[in-house]
Structure 1
Amino acid sequence: MGARGSARCCISRCPAVPLRSPLSPPCSTIPRENGSMAKTLMAEPPKSKPRLPNDAIAWITAAPPLARFIFRGSPEAEAAAGSAYGLAFPKALNRAASIGERGKPGARVALRIGPDELLLIVPIAEGKAVQTALETATAAHPHSLVDISDRHTGFALEGPHAADLINAGCPLDLDERAFPVGMVTRTLLHKAEIVLWRMGPTLFRVEVWRSFAPYVEALLEEAAHDFL
């Protein structure tokens, strides 16, 4: 990082954009929740900021339009769902699994955020097909599948001080030895509940309720001023 006085804050705004449900055999499939800002999810995301010289702090990139589901089920339901999803669900708690380029056709993400709870993320255009495939595959097993696409949004936070900005409002130890690449957890950023996924040494994915997105961005921007 360059001299403290010359460093530039590079936090850009992204557009303002979990749910536990008991198992009840044979299944509980809850329709998508309506929200007044649902159309925001469909909007073309802003272009990411260009990578800056090594005196950059961090930058935010809005996620492309995505469909999101919370899946819970028995081991048999998970096995059937993973097969239909095209991606084996991670077994270990707080771990992520993914295939394909995020937001592109065929991309799949599965985040283990609870002992029997997974956050599934797919391109928005494939959401309905994926939901139908999961419902069909798990029909004979106790499970719950909830579409939270209208409720959640997400963005990437990347840069040499990305972990520092998160730690301004989150008590987690984000040293790579304690929170390695591929780890994910549900935590708090000040008063906002988030799902935090480390995708790279200096790259984090933040999933948050749409109504809390401006609050979370403002916290990160405020923290960035410490590096000016």
Structure 2
Amino acid sequence: MLEVNLARRTPAIRPAAVASAGPIRIAPETGEGRLSFRAKAKALGGREDVAGFAVDGAINSRKSDGDTASLRLGPDEWLFICPEGDIDDAMSAIERAMDGAAHSLVDVSHRDVTFTVSGQNADAVINAGCPLDLSLDRFPVGTASRTVFGKSDIVLARVGHHDFRVTTWRSFAPYVHGLLLDAAKDYAG
């Protein structure tokens, strides 16, 4: 728990709350807790959820329920999202639910920054630096994937027809934010 305590006492380095103007909105999310969860199918024992976080979806999918979301990024890898103030309770609940089964659970809230990108051409803005086909039929609502944006690793999730969440490591956030803002200029009208 030392790492968690030190991270919480360290002043947060957050990108400025600068949002783009015009038809594409790009803004940093605040107040989110993020948990990296890993467990093999045997350890999950057929569960559909762990402490309210879905673990039954297809790889590269996102399921949400109110303030929580579960992104399945690999065969044994999920990113759980909850309100920042609920992290300790969520971690305790997951530990109880796993009841000694082999798993990994790490609070990565301090590591990541998420930007919402929304608007009619949000997919085109993201495609300025992301090689995935983000057309609605190839990357539908509820899809999530680890990918790249420019030269940065990101986790990309489509949460609406014209709404995305771009999560990157805090140290890459100014770079990713700048690229998004620059790409959005093409759609400023």
TM-score, structure 2 as length reference: 0.86
Q: Which runs of 5+ in 1 are unaligned?
A: 1-28, 101-106
Q: CA deviation at 1:166?
A: 0.6
Match of 2:150 in 1: 190
Deviations 1:151-190 (A, max 9, x none): 0111210011211111111111111011111001000001
Contact 1:31 1:146 (C-alpha < 8 Å) held by counterparts:
no
User: Hey, what's the Cα distance between the residues in 2 that align with 1:82 and 1:33?
Assistant: 31
Greater percentage in strand: 2
User: 1:157 and 2:112 equivalent?
Assistant: no
The separation in 2 between residues aligned to 1:169 and 1:47, in whole angstroms, is 20
2:53–2:80 contact (8 Å) kept in structure 1: no
Structure 2 vs 1, CA of residues 36 and 132 (structure 1 numbering), >3 Å: closer, same or farther? closer
Structure 2 counterpart of 1:88: 54
Deviations 1:74-121 (A, max 9, x none): 225435886442243243110111111xxxxxx211000111100001
Of the candidates 115, 126, 133, which is equivalent to residue 166 of structure 1?
126
- Alignment-derived partner of residue 11 in structure 2: 39
Please identify the structure whose Cα radius of gyration is greater: 1
Map 1:60-99 → 2, pairs under 5 A:
60-78=26-44, 83-99=49-65
Moved over 4 A (4+): 33-38, 45-49, 79-84
SS of aligned partner of 1:219: helix
Partner of 1:59: 25
The CA RMSD over aligned residues, in Å, is: 2.9
Cα distance in 1 between the residues matched to 2:183 and 2:5: 33
Identity percentage over the alignment? 37
> 1:204 pairs with 145, 152, 164, which one?
164
| Aligned twin of 1:131 | 91
Deviation at 1:33, TM superposition (A): 8.3
Q: Structure 1: how far apart are the matches of 2:71 and 2:122?
A: 21
2:165 & 2:56 partners in 1: Cα distance?
17
Deviation at 1:142, TM superposition (A): 1.1
CA deviation vs aligned residue, 1:113-151 (integer Å, no higher than 9, x gap): 111100001101110011011112213211111111110
- The separation in 2 between residues aligned to 1:38 and 1:194, in whole angstroms, is 23
**Distance in 2 between the 1:108 and 1:36 partners?**
21
Mapping of residues 143-154 of structure 1, within 5 Å = 143-154=103-114
User: Is there any run of 5+ residues in structure 2 with no aligned partner, and where?
Assistant: none
